Amino acid sequence: MADVMEERIHSIQRTSGFAFVIAAVTLGTTMLVHPTFTDVNNTGNVLQAITAAKGEAWMQVHAIMMAGFAIAAMAFCALAFLLHIRGSSGSAAIVSTCALLGAGVWITFLSAELYAYKFFTNWFGVDAGGATMLFSTVWFWKLGALYAGALLFFGAVIFSGIAGVKRNVMPVWLGWSGSLIGIIGALVYVMDFWGSTATGRASQPMQWPMMRYGVGLPLQLWMLGVGVVLLMDYFSRPMAMKVTHAPARPAGERPARRASDAPVSHPTPQAVPPPAAPQGASGGASGQTYTPGVPHPTGARIPHPALAPEPEEPPQQQRSTGTDPARPKPPQIFPG
């Protein structure tokens, strides 16, 4: 069971890591090339800027942004599942919900603009007033939706950073820096919306250069860092060796002997006769041989127990009977 859980973690790290890197590069690039509007409430100037771009670049940027947000949602959901496995199920639920809803809002309204702007561009050359009035409805609806989508994504970043540090998914500096960026972005959006309720003017803080390069771009760099950390953990994991076993042999069949497994024959040592005893060195008993370098005991040689003679039986004692001659009395020392 532990091996299966490790395989799940490695699969999540691979998917989430690549998704974070691709989404960060895609969204960061579109953020840099997206045009900046000084006043989003002046829809006439906004539509004129889109018309000057002929609509092709605008459609391409929005299509790339849609793909980027879809990949970012996959990355956050995979990260949320990893947090769930590590024990932070509550934070995982918040991260996945915010990422899915936020990406869904962005993709929905960006896809609605793919062909609408081409229509507005053609209509603007015929009737600028009517095109501006209809464009204003779509534009202000889009600004409100992207407001909610940005806040949801900030929430996913905040809880991902806090839970990631707690469960050792990412370094402390990376997790807390992402949470700090998310908190700053959410506060700016909330305060700007709270101030716009008095006047009714629409706003999009990401159109401000300070927010775009002070919050938006660092947020993409944070996503890139998270993806790199997850991929480093994935590629540095210990790899298990795969053992291939030989096919099973039928019962009773002996394995074929290889040439290298042939028995090695060793020469049989020849019996070397003991050297004869030198002259004058037979100080031992009869039958004793002399071997140089081996101490010999002196005295008679003890024969082998098998060659020892049979022991003599002790004489049997005669039992006294009534017919035996009487034993003579001992002599009296002091007769009397």
- Residues shown for the chain: 336
Lowest mean pLDDT among 134-138, 143-147, 176-180, 295-299: 295-299
Residue 208 pLDDT more than 90? no
Instruction: Provide mean pLDDT across the span 37-59.
Output: 73
Residue 283 pLDDT more than 50? no
Lowest mean pLDDT among 124-133, 218-227, 264-273: 264-273
- Rounded-to-integer distance, Cα 70 and Cα 271, Å: 90
Handedness of CA 78, 83, 86, 89 (dihedral sign): negative
**Hey, where are the domains in the chain?**
2-235
Instruction: Provide mean pLDDT across the span 55-70.
Output: 83
Kindly calculate the radius of gyration of the chain based on its CA atoms and give it in whole angstroms.
Answer: 51
- Rounded-to-integer distance, Cα 175 and Cα 301, Å: 95
- Rounded-to-integer distance, Cα 169 and Cα 231, Å: 11
Question: 143 versus 299: which is more confidently predicted?
Answer: 143
Please state, rounded to an integer, the average pLDDT across all residues of the chain. 78
- Tens of pLDDT, residue by residue over 107-128, are 988 887 777 777 777 777 777 7
Burial of 91 (0-12, 13-18, 19+ CB in 10 A): buried
Residue 287 pLDDT more than 60? no
What is the structure's pLDDT at 329? Answer: 73
> Contact at 8 Å (CB) between 89 and 126?
no
Residue 294 pLDDT more than 70? no
Lowest mean pLDDT among 100-114, 182-196, 301-315: 301-315
- Rounded-to-integer distance, Cα 96 and Cα 101, Å: 9
- Rounded-to-integer distance, Cα 279 and Cα 11, Å: 91
CA distance readout (Å), 100 to 12, 26, 80, 161, 225: 17, 18, 11, 17, 21
Of all residues in the chain, the percent with pLDDT exceeding 90 is 29
Of all residues in the chain, the percent with pLDDT exceeding 70 is 68
- Rounded-to-integer distance, Cα 2 and Cα 5, Å: 5
* 303-317 burial: b if 16+ Cβ within 10 Å, else e: eeeeeeeeeeeeeee
